[in-house]
Amino acid sequence: MDQTPINLLEIRDLRKTFSVAGGLFSRPLTLTALENINFSIRKGETLGIVGESGCGKSTLGRCILQLLSPDEGQVLWLGQDLTKLPAEEMRKRRADLQIIFQDPLASLNPRMTVGEIIADPLRTLRPELNKEQRRGRVLKIMEAVGLLPEMINRYPHEFSGGQAQRIGIARALITEPKLIVCDEPVSALDVSIQAQILNLLSELKDEFGLTLIFISHNLSVVRHVSDRILVLYLGRIVELATGDEIYDGPRHPYTRALLTAVPIPDPRLARQRNIDALKGEIPSPINPPSGCTFRTRCRFAKPYCAEHRPPLETIEDNRLVACHRWREIEVPEEAVLGV
């Protein structure tokens, strides 16, 4: 019987800051990229992470994989804290945790053949395999991601963006990972290819029993692939709920605004829509607003919101929200239309 714990990964009180140059004669400034991040990922689920540029979504993905070291907090993989793991141990662990990047061509070494690129992780992580065994595995994975066997000796520049992304996916799959962080995997692709890759990811997820973290700025794509969705704003979790809960009744005013701003490929619905246009732009994470960081753009903000930071509250089963006023704010009947 499979006795793997339900929660593959638990993130506790994660915090990540960066030091940025202030100016020629000033002291470096601190940019808080992530703060008070707490959530867990269940085995077999797809967790979507959405937010606008600079919200910390990619940093979060990289902190989970230890490609960046968090300043504080724990990343518990099956109970083991990855942040405390010695480098050599972590390297072995990487067979379980893989990543797919946004720009498929830029993430492939132009001097290596497709076969070499896909087999590369095996050299470090499965040194016991011989050349023939490696080749056998590569061909099997290539077939699974829809690449033809004769492509094995070609170079990345001979491929289109969609095919290059398939190579990136094959490289991530070759170590038989349990979790894959997909960081904007379809944002650079044409619409028809984007749909092909999304379908491929969902097939592979079923076939290999994967757990996925799907990072994207596109809420339509995230809703399409995710079981649960985590919404980030200025490095903090503002809401975490299932796709249906977010869609039917977003609790946080930011989630609500995002939902009405997502382009909807339906002219009649688009005309009925009452877009909750946020004022202004995202404040700088170097100097975030006091209290609730969203208050400067929130139409429900009260003076109280400037003084106190809203805690991340559990409001229903596994549903989290960080807003002082979520109980009072009435959710529109058709949240996606804002009416």
Provide the CA 38 distance to its chain's centre, in angstroms. 15
Shortest separation between residue 16's beta carbon and other proteins, angstroms: 21
Pick the closer one to other proteins by CB: 280 or 303. Answer: 280
Return the number of the residue (125 or 292) whose C-beta is nearest other proteins: 292
Q: How far is the CB of 305 from other proteins (least distance, A)?
A: 19
Q: Which of 144, 264, 315, 329 binds other proteins (CB under 8 A)?
A: 264
Instruction: Show the binding pattern over residues 159-178: x = contacts other proteins (CB under 8 A), - = does not.
Output: -x-xx---------------
3-state secondary structure of 205: helix
Q: How far apart are CA 78 and CA 75, in angstroms?
A: 10
**Residue indicated by tokens 């490929």:** 265
User: Contact 325/300 with Cβ under 8 angstroms?
Assistant: yes
SS3 category, 159: coil
Using CB under 8 A, which of the segments 12-20, 150-158, 207-215, 278-286 binds other proteins? 278-286
Output the CA torsion sign for 195, 196, 197, 198.
positive
Is residue 268 within the footprint of other proteins (CB under 8 A)?
A: yes
Task: Kindly state whether residue 20 participates in binding other proteins, applying the rule CB under 8 A.
Answer: no
State which residue, 40 or 196, has the beta carbon closest to other proteins: 196
Instruction: Please identify, using beta-carbon distances, which residue of 139 and 261 lies nearer to other proteins.
Output: 261
* d(C-alpha 57, C-alpha 52), whole Å: 8
User: Of the two residues 111 and 279, which places its CB atom closer to other proteins in the complex?
Assistant: 279
DSSP assigned state of 261: H
CB–CB of 240/320 below 8 Å? yes
Task: Kindly indicate which of the ranges 57-65, 67-75, 274-282, 322-330 contains the residues binding other proteins, using the contact rule CB under 8 A.
Answer: 274-282
DSSP result, 216-238: ES-HHHHHHH-SEEEEEETTEEE
**Binder to other proteins among 134, 137, 171, 223 (CB under 8 A)?**
223
Whichever of 101 and 233 has its CB closer to other proteins, that residue is 233
| Tokens, residue 157 | 């520049």
Which residue in the set 142, 179, 212, 219 belongs to the binding site for other proteins (CB under 8 A)? 219
Burial, 321: exposed, middle or buried (Cβ in 10 Å; 0-12, 13-18, 19+)?
buried
Residue 56 binds other proteins, judged by CB under 8 A: no
Of 16-24, 27-35, 124-132, 213-221, the window that binds other proteins (rule: CB under 8 A) is: 213-221
Rounded Cα distance, 102 and 224, in Å: 18
The two counts, helices (H) then strands (E), for the chain are: 11, 12
Is 199 an interacting residue with respect to other proteins (CB under 8 A)? yes
* Two structure tokens written together for 186: 């379809």
Total of chain residues touching other proteins, rule CB under 8 A: 46
| Contact footprint for other proteins (CB under 8 A) | 52-53, 160, 162-163, 190-196, 198-199, 202, 217-221, 223-224, 243, 247, 257-270, 273, 275, 277-278, 280-282, 336
